[in-house]
């Protein structure tokens, strides 16, 4: 009996707990104000432009959102920026035509994009995190950059397109439903020169797998999984030329100094880890599409290692101790199967359609067999629903 009393949970004295009156007050409280959240989805924008090029229809949709007046005004400006992004990428032709400085200023924006923040944040400076007072020249340059940024924003707000005629490329955005359409088409155009490992890394990175699952799903080290033809032949060169990555982030000098040498240094520099393929692709995308902020990518290596186990799901789970997270792993593989089916409908420019589809269908068949060995009912139901949703419906 004494042992049971010791195990009995007790309430903390320094923590507030709910009581009956508080629950009753919460139950009888009036409803809060409804409010729309989030930005206009890119796929919805592409669908509405494909149905009608009139931008006023989309503006009325934004005006009807349940938001404060300031947020509604910001939503209209965001719509104009989204249309300019589609215009620069060649998905629409705008009327009236955008000003000439819209392309030059926005292609190299003064405001730091997500990719530029990540590229500069991971390049360490000598001296660690010591406080550094900016010089007068740097202060003057930052003030000039802010003035130019304000000028660019005023130029964007002054231009408002009335018509946005979709081009032939717009159909590519409508085919992708499981991922961000702009980033999905960007990946397809890049993956023609990639090998199987790089294609798996790129596709898995867009499925938003939480890193809290554990270190077992991380991409292997640079030595264990060396870069493929896409990274060495295209991405590394472009990132260096554009100044989006340092040579150390691309693998230069990897293994020159070990941890013992770093420990003997008086002022050791922070170690720079090589970028994964997903991080390289994200930095290049952020440079080419600086106005896209609603995108999340996470570099993981799950399906690639599962195929190294010959598709044995149980062996992969038990070897990494992922028994508690096997449901999330299984769901991740099912989503990857659906994504491969969407990517198979598009074709990269530097590979034939037959070779592209044969490679993707080969990967998908192996993953389907692995998932069926775990739960055949859920796998077959998912495949049937995906096939039924792909079939055109008649009114």
Sequence-ordered list of residues with C-beta below 8 angstroms from that of 57, at least 6 positions apart, any chain: 48
Question: Mean pLDDT across the stretch 179-183?
Answer: 95
- My answer on whether 366 and 243 are in the same domain is yes
Tokens for 185?
A: 């088409």
Structural domain contains residue 87:
yes
Considering the domain architecture, whether residues 232 and 318 belong to the same structural domain is answered as yes
Does one domain contain both 212 and 350?
yes
> Both 150 and 296 in a single domain?
no
- Range scoring the smallest mean pLDDT among 12-21, 112-121, 155-164, 334-343: 112-121
Q: Are residues 226 and 346 in the same domain?
A: yes
Structure tokens, 307: 């195929």
Question: How far apart (Å, rounded) are the C-alpha atoms in residues 271 and 275?
Answer: 12
Contact indicator for 291, 102 with CB cutoff of 8 Å: no
Residue 227 has pLDDT above 60, yes or no: yes
Structure confidence by residue, pLDDT tens digits, 90-143: 999 999 999 877 665 444 443 333 333 333 333 333 333 333 444 444 444 445
Q: In terms of domains, do 153 and 93 share one?
A: yes
Listed range (7-21, 252-266, 314-328) with the worst mean pLDDT? 252-266
Q: 332 to each of 145, 217, 346, how far by Cα in Å?
A: 43, 11, 22
Both 355 and 217 in a single domain? yes
Same domain, 185 and 152: no
Residues 205 and 309 in one domain: yes
Does 93 share its domain with 238? no
Place of tokens 């998932």: 371
pTM of the predicted model as reported, rounded to 2 decimal places = 0.78
Alpha carbon distances (Å) from 342 to 173, 335, 371 = 11, 11, 19
Q: What's the average model confidence in pLDDT over 247-264?
A: 68
User: How many folded domains does the chain comprise?
Assistant: 2
Q: Which of 370, 372, 363 is nearest to 344 (CA)?
A: 363
Are 42 and 173 within 8 A, CB to CB? yes
Q: Are residues 113 and 182 in the same domain?
A: no
The pLDDT, as a whole number, for residue 32 is: 81
Choosing from 105, 132, 166, the residue where a domain stops is 166
195 contacts 230 by C-beta, under 8 angstroms? yes
pLDDT band for 394, please (50, 70, 90 cuts).
Answer: very low
The pLDDT of 315-319, averaged and rounded, is: 96
Q: pLDDT class for 328, splitting at 50, 70, 90?
A: very high
Residue 15 forms part of a structural domain? no
The pair of structure tokens assigned to 353 is: 């359609």
Assigned token pair, 275: 């970028």
Q: Considering the domain boundaries, does residue 10 fall inside one?
A: no
Q: How far apart are CA 268 and CA 279, in angstroms?
A: 25
Answer for the pair 171, 155: CB distance below 8 angstroms, yes or no: no
The predicted structure's pLDDT at residue 70: 93
Please indicate, yes or no, if residue 291 is contained in any of the structural domains. yes
Q: What is the mean pLDDT of residues 146-167?
A: 70
The mean-pLDDT minimum among 130-139, 205-214, 286-295, 363-372 falls in 130-139
150 shares a domain with 214: no
Whether 300 is in a domain gets the answer yes
Range of the domain at 378: 176-251+273-389
Q: Please check whether residue 16 lies inside any domain of the structure.
A: no
Question: HEC states along the chain?
Answer: CHHHHHHCCCCCCCCCCCCHHHHHHHHHCCCCCCCCCCCCCHHHHHHHHHHCCEHHHHHHHHHCCCCCHHHHHHHHHHHHHHHHHHHHCCCEEEECCCCHHHHHHHHCCCCCCHHHHHHHHCCCCCCCCCCCCCCHHHHHHHHHHHHHHHHHHHHHHHCCCCEEEECCCHHHHHHCCCCCHHHHHHHHHHHHHCCHHHHHHHHHHCCCCCHHHCHHHCCCCCCCCCCCHHHHHHHHHHHHHHCCCCCCCCCCCCCCCCHHHHHHCCCCCCCCCCCCHHHHHHHHHHHHCCCCCCCCCCCCCCHHHHHHCCCCHHHHHHHHCCHHHHHHHHHHHHHHHHHHHHHHCCCCCCCCHHHHHHHHHHHHHHHHHHHHHHCHHHHHHHHHHHHHHHCCCCC
Lowest mean pLDDT among 23-27, 111-115, 151-155, 236-240: 111-115
Domain contains 130: no
Q: Which of 296, 298, 348, 333 is nearest to 187 (CA)?
A: 348
Write down the pLDDT at residue 116. 38
Is it the case that residue 289 has pLDDT exceeding 70? yes
In a domain, 308, yes or no: yes
């Amino acid at each position: 009996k004494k042992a049971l009393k010791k195990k009995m949970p007790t309430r903390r004295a320094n923590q507030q707990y709910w009581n009956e009156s508080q629950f009753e007050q919460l139950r009888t409280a009036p409803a809060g104000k409804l409010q729309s959240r989030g930005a206009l989805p890119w796929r919805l924008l592409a669908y509405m432009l494909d149905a009608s090029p009139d931008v006023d229809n989309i503006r009325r949709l934004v005006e009807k959102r349940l938001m404060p007046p300031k947020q509604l005004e910001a939503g209209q400006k965001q719509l104009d920026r989204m249309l300019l992004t589609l215009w620069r990428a060649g998905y629409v032709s705008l009327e009236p035509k955008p000003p000439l400085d819209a392309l030059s200023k926005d292609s190299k924006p003064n405001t730091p994009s997500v990719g530029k923040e990540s590229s500069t944040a991971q390049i360490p400076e000598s001296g660690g995190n010591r406080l550094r007072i900016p010089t007068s020249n740097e202060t003057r340059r930052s003030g000039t950059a802010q003035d130019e940024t304000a000028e660019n924003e005023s130029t964007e707000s002054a231009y408002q397109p009335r018509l946005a005629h979709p081009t032939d490329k717009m159909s590519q955005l409508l085919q992708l439903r499981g991922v961000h359409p702009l980033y999905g088409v960007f990946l397809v155009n890049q993956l023609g020169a990639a090998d199987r490992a790089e294609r798996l890394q790129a596709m898995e990175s867009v499925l938003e797998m939480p890193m809290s699952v554990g270190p077992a799903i991380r991409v292997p080290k640079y030595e264990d999984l060396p870069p493929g033809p896409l990274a060495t032949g295209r991405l590394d060169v472009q990132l260096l030329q554009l100044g989006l990555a340092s040579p150390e982030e691309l693998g230069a000098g990897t293994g020159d100094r070990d941890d013992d040498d770093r420990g003997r240094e008086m002022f050791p520099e922070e170690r720079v880890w090589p970028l994964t393929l997903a991080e390289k692709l994200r930095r290049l995308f952020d440079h080419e599409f600086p106005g896209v902020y609603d995108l999340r990518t996470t570099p993981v290596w799950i399906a690639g290692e599962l195929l190294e186990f010959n598709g044995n799901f149980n062996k992969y789970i038990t070897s990494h101790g992922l028994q508690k997270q096997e449901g999330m792993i299984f769901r991740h593989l099912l989503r990857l199967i659906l994504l491969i089916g969407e990517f198979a409908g598009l074709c990269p420019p530097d590979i034939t359609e037959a070779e592209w589809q044969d490679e993707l269908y080969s990967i998908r068949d192996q993953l389907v067999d692995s998932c069926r060995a775990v739960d055949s009912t859920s796998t077959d139901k998912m495949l049937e629903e995906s096939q039924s949703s792909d079939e055109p419906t008649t009114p």
